[in-house]
């Protein structure tokens, strides 16, 4: 693929990881706070959570459409997208209640999304 | 002239662990996954750099990143030693270390500097996978 062989792909990938640090990074802080860990209130980081999510969705789409067929043949990609849909649905519903259960579920789901995403590289053909 | 970094890379290259790591099917993928997961779990704490309550949390994250990062370096030391992106990443990490020494009255500058520098670290890190 043209995009894969240029410097653009690694840069888009990097921005995706920067978005990850902002998005999952702030959610983890919020969840650990909910669970009673010595983590400060993170309400004013909401902006970073949403900016991170927007960045990830945009760069993720760019990477996907650079070689859609290749991603669709990758089993790790299927697992990642399935987990992502569940994690996003939980994030915008259950997670809002701020319960301990929602926090544990959120930590588990986002951890699995990251692991499945990283595995896309390993299952690439 | 004696080059300690090159000497370290050469030494690691000849160890049996380097061979084990580079030949194992799941070794590097699993260590790499933990490395990325640590960015996801602890990256947010850089946004609250001035909060002393997060100091220990940040150190846990940094320790995991340095430990897994060192193992990843161990899996291919000679290639990484000659990688321009790896060198740039290490240089940025040194600058981050120096920026953390800024006096407290420059807290806002240190904060902004660290965000830009960490973004640079992620950019150069991805570059390492390519050359």
Task: Name the residue with higher pLDDT: A2 or B26.
Answer: B26
Per the structure, the complete domain to which residue B107 belongs is given by 83-131
The answer to whether B116 contacts chain A (CB < 8 Å) is no
Is the separation of the CB atoms in B115 and A22 below 8 Å? Answer: no
The answer on B18 and B68 residing in a single domain is: yes
Averaged pLDDT for residues A16-40: 94
Cross-chain Cβ contact B122/A25 below 8 Å: no
**In chain B, which residue's Cα lies nearest the Cα of A43?**
B48
The answer on B127 and B64 residing in a single domain is: no
For A8-22, write each residue's pLDDT tens digit: 999 999 999 999 999
pLDDT band at B131 (very low <50, low <70, confident <90, very high): confident
The answer on B61 and B8 residing in a single domain is: yes
Is the separation of the CB atoms in A27 and A106 below 8 Å? Answer: yes
pTM score, whole prediction? 0.92
For B17-65, write each residue's pLDDT tens digit: 999 999 998 999 999 999 999 999 999 999 988 788 898 999 999 999 9
The answer on B89 and B72 residing in a single domain is: no
Q: Can you tell me whether residue B5 is helix, strand or coil?
A: helix
Residue-level length of chain B: 131
The answer on B100 and B127 residing in a single domain is: yes
> Is the pLDDT score of A2 beyond 70?
no
Nearest-CA distance from B3 to chain A in Å? Answer: 31
For A27-36, A79-88, B9-18, B104-113, which range has the lowest pLDDT when averaged over its residues? B104-113
What pLDDT score does B100 carry? 86
What pLDDT score does B104 carry? 82
What pLDDT score does A63 carry? 94
> Is the pLDDT score of A3 beyond 70?
no
Averaged pLDDT for residues B59-78: 95
- Rounded to the nearest 10 degrees, the angle between the axes of helix A100-122 and helix B27-42 is 140
What pLDDT score does A49 carry? 95
Percent of chain B at pLDDT above 90? 76
The answer on B67 and B4 residing in a single domain is: yes
Residue A58: DSSP 8-state: H
pLDDT band at A111 (very low <50, low <70, confident <90, very high): very high
Q: Which residues of A touch B40 (CB under 8 A)?
A: 20-21, 24-25, 28, 110-111, 114
Q: What is the spatial distance between Cα B106 and Cα B110, in angstroms, rounded to a whole number?
A: 6
For A48-105, write each residue's pLDDT tens digit: 999 999 999 999 999 999 999 999 999 999 999 999 999 999 999 999 998 999 999 9
Q: Which of B61, B76, B91 is the last residue of a domain?
A: B76
Q: Which of B76, B94, B119 is the last residue of a domain?
A: B76
The answer on B16 and B70 residing in a single domain is: yes
Total structural domains in chain B? 2
Q: Which of B58, B76, B94 is the last residue of a domain?
A: B76
The answer on B47 and B88 residing in a single domain is: no
The answer on B68 and B115 residing in a single domain is: no
> Is the pLDDT score of A1 beyond 50?
no
The answer on B112 and B92 residing in a single domain is: yes
The answer on B66 and B95 residing in a single domain is: no
Question: Which ipTM was obtained for this model?
Answer: 0.91
What pLDDT score does A4 carry? 60
Neighbours of A53 (CB within 10 A): 19
The answer on B56 and B105 residing in a single domain is: no
Interface test with B, best of A7, A16, A18, A53 (most B CBs within 10 A): A18
């Amino acid at each position: 693929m043209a995009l894969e062989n240029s410097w653009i792909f690694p840069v888009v990938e990097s921005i995706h990881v920067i978005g990850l640090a902002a998005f999952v990074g702030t959610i983890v802080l919020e969840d650990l706070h909910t669970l009673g860990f010595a983590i400060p209130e993170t309400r004013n980081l909401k902006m970073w959570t949403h900016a991170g999510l927007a960045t990830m969705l945009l760069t993720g789409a760019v990477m996907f459409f650079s070689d859609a067929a290749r991603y669709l043949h990758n089993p790790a990609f299927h697992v990642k997208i399935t987990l992502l849909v569940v994690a996003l649905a939980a994030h915008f519903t259950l997670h809002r209640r701020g319960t301990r259960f929602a926090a544990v579920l959120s930590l588990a789901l986002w951890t699995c999304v990251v692991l499945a995403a990283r595995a896309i590289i390993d299952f690439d053909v | 002239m004696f080059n300690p970094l090159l000497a370290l890379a050469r030494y690691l290259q000849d160890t049996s662990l380097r061979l084990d790591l580079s030949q194992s099917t799941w070794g590097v993928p699993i260590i790499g996954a933990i490395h990325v997961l640590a960015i996801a779990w602890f990256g947010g704490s850089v946004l609250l750099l001035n909060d002393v309550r997060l100091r220990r949390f940040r150190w846990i994250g940094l320790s995991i990143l340095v430990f897994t990062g060192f193992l990843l370096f161990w899996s291919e030391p000679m290639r990484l030693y000659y990688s321009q992106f790896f060198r740039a990443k290490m240089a940025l990490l040194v600058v981050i270390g120096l920026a953390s020494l800024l006096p407290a009255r420059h807290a806002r500058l240190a904060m902004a500097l660290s965000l830009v520098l960490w973004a640079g670290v992620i950019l150069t890190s991805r570059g390492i996978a390519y050359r």
